[in-house]
Amino acid sequence: MNFLFYYFLAVNSIAFILIGYDKHLAKKRCNRIPEHTLLLFVLAGGTIASGISMLLFRHKTSKRSYLVRFFTIVFFQIVLLFMATYYKLLCF
């Protein structure tokens, strides 16, 4: 369980920094971080920090295609977590 804590801490930290940095790059009109990279960190478990950073930096909140993919990943993560706890694959 200790490993999972540090894993999610690292993934969420990186996701938060990446979205903040992508917003910085967008303001400077530089080459940006690809959306699939940002979504990969969401898929890897950086959902909470990605959502918070999207709201905090006001980044990717009006891009419909990104939001659809983001919330699709969130939905499947919730379903997987529910199934894992329902079938007692995870103990909380």
**pLDDT given at position 91:** 62
54 or 87, which is more confident = 54
Q: Which pair of structure tokens corresponds to residue 3? A: 């490993």
89 or 83, which is more confident = 83
* pTM of this structure: 0.88
2 or 47, which is more confident = 47
User: Quick one: average pLDDT of 57-81?
Assistant: 95
For the chain, give the secondary structure using H, E and C. CHHHHHHHHHHHHHHHHHHHHHHHHHHHCCCCCCHHHHHHHHHCCCHHHHHHHHHHHCCCCCCHHHHHHHHHHHHHHHHHHHHHHHCCCCCC
Q: What is the pLDDT of residues 4-52, one digit of tens each?
A: 999 999 999 999 999 999 999 999 999 999 999 999 999 999 999 999 9
Q: Provide the b/e sequence for 45-80 (b: ≥16 CB within 10 Å).
A: bbbebbbebbeebebbeeeeebeebbeebbeeeeee
**Would you say residue 67 has pLDDT above 70?**
yes
